[in-house]
Amino acid sequence: MNSTTEKHIALISVHGDPAIEIGKEEAGGQNVYVRHVGEALAQLGWQVDMFTRKVSLEQDTIVQHSQNCRTIRLKAGSLEFVPRDQLFGYLPEFVDNFLEFQKENSITYQLVHTNYWLSSWVGMQLKKIQGSKQVHTYHSLGAVKYNTIKTIPLIASKRLAVEKEVLETAEKIVATSPQEKQHMRSLVSLKGNIDIIPCGTDIHRFGSITREAARSELGIAPEAKIVLYVGRFDPRKGIETLVRALNKSKLRDSNNLQLIIGGGSTPGNSDGRERDRIEKIINELGMSDFTTLAGRLSQEILPTYYAAADVCVVPSHYEPFGLVAIEAMASSTPVVASDVGGLQFTVVPEQTGLLAPPEDVDAFASAIDRILISPEWRDELGKAGRKRVETKFSWHGVASQLSELYSQLLEQSVQEPALLAQ
Ligand code: UDP
């Protein structure tokens, strides 16, 4: 293979493996993003290699997703799951194995698109070693996150420094919402090039089933009022706010209210501990009769859950984008979300759903009730949500914008030496 093959792109996602099951502790929006962007770019004619860290001997080193799109797992540290806050020390080995892979396959990636701060460090090394151009998507900003949690991890200062450096040195930063861009500017640096290209969703999969059909498939009565949460178990996801809000719902004792909480967890891990804590609150409030902890919901069954719901709630303390909101909207289900970050961009209050201040139990309760008591308004909001996602947030549209950006950057690399020679 030619070392300067155009339309060759490396997506780097050290801790977010695009080929694994989604919905557990460290697997969420980033994995979905990388996988779908990768596959959509391949359809647009790119040769896409997605690099991630291998976490067990059983995992295949290479997973071929389609003809031009594959996941490549590199060794970095021992073959076991390591929480992301403890991964930084293994990154030099990741870089070495990336270079080794290039050598063995006679490829030099002219362009790398890195995801999350850990991968941004890898991208910055590749830039130094071989002049690779770098596009970076943060997925989460330390400067925002550390404002919303009580215990700051040891790695915090390193992360903040790396996040500043990549903003100032990458050829392009991709912010997924105007709110994220604003945070980069106000909290990280005024230097650097930022474009806004949102996350996307599969508008064919989500929205493929009616509410009636979905309910009959899941055995849910037509008159039930279904409130749905989908996401990881993490205190910052605000599941507690949702549970306490439903306890205050005017429909609490109507016999029709049902709360479904979808998301996987591993006993003993941090998501398992959060699940136990939430279950305890549900029991204490006497809500177990109408609450289902549904476990991890596969991407195949998720469209059915979203379609069956009257309202999907995203009560996060902070969310740089929030894929769940657009998945629900694509399924014509209104969203009640925290008035933060990317949710302010995706959810249009009074048109596709409602926003409430994060952790404000009363505000969530009344927003949820407003939608539950009016099926006509629910349908109107749902229809507008679907339309918004179709026009703004399809993977195809997102990948086309990224493709254009990559092409521009690669063209510049071809032109630059010529310009220098003039
Ligand atoms: N998800 C899933 N099954 C689950 C829970 C979550 O497939 O049981 C997926 C969900 O559909 C979404 C992603 O995980 O695509 C979560 O992304 P989001 O941006 O909402 O949150 P993050 O995980 O990035 O914090």
CATH 3.40.50.2000, the chain: domain bounds: 8-200+395-421, 211-392
* Ligand 1 pocket residue status of 323, Cβ below 6 Å: yes
Please give the mean pLDDT across all residues of the chain: 93
Q: Which residue, 134, 231, 236, 144, is CA-closest to 181?
A: 144
The pLDDT > 70 percentage for the chain reads 95
Where does the pLDDT of residue 23 fall: very low under 50, low under 70, confident under 90, or very high at 90 and above? Answer: low
pLDDT of amino acid 418: 46
From CA 415, how far away is CA 293, in angstroms rounded?
56
Distance 283 CA to ligand 1 centre (A): 25
Q: For ligand 1, atom 14, which residue shows the shortest CA distance?
A: 28
Mutation probe of ligand 1 site: the residue of 21, 232, 321 with most atoms within 8 A of C-beta:
232
pLDDT of amino acid 28: 83
- Residue range 305-339, pLDDT digits in tens: 999 999 999 999 999 899 999 999 999 999 999 99
Single-letter amino acid code for the residue at 161: A
Distance 140 CA to ligand 1 centre (A): 14
Picking from 141-145, 152-156, 308-312, 358-362, which range would have the lowest pLDDT averaged per residue? Answer: 152-156
Q: For ligand 1, atom 4, which residue shows the shortest CA distance?
A: 23
Span 211-392 CATH architecture: 3-Layer(aba) Sandwich (3.40)
- Residue range 25-73, pLDDT digits in tens: 567 889 999 999 999 999 999 999 999 999 999 999 999 999 999 999 9
Average pLDDT of the residues in 340-365:
97
The pLDDT > 90 percentage for the chain reads 87
Tokens of 126: 């590749």
Average pLDDT of the residues in 226-245:
97
Q: For ligand 1, atom 3, which residue shows the shortest CA distance?
A: 23
CATH of domain 8-200+395-421: 3.40.50.2000
CB neighbour class for 150 (10 Å; exposed up to 12, middle 13-18, buried from 19):
exposed
Q: Decide if the complex's ipTM is over 0.90.
A: yes
Q: Do residues 62 and 72 make contact, with C-beta atoms less than 8 angstroms apart?
A: yes
Distance 3 CA to ligand 1 centre (A): 36
pLDDT of amino acid 42: 97
Distance 24 CA to ligand 1 centre (A): 9
* Ligand 1 pocket residue status of 262, Cβ below 6 Å: yes
pLDDT of amino acid 18: 95
Atom of ligand 1 nearest to the CA of 297: 8
* Ligand 1 pocket residue status of 232, Cβ below 6 Å: yes
- Residue range 238-273, pLDDT digits in tens: 999 999 999 999 999 888 999 999 999 989 888 999
Count Cβ atoms below 10 Å from residue 196 Cβ, excluding itself: 15
Where does the pLDDT of residue 2 fall: very low under 50, low under 70, confident under 90, or very high at 90 and above? Answer: very low
Distance 28 CA to ligand 1 centre (A): 4
Overall size of the chain counted in residues: 422
From CA 126, how far away is CA 170, in angstroms rounded?
11
Distance 157 CA to ligand 1 centre (A): 27
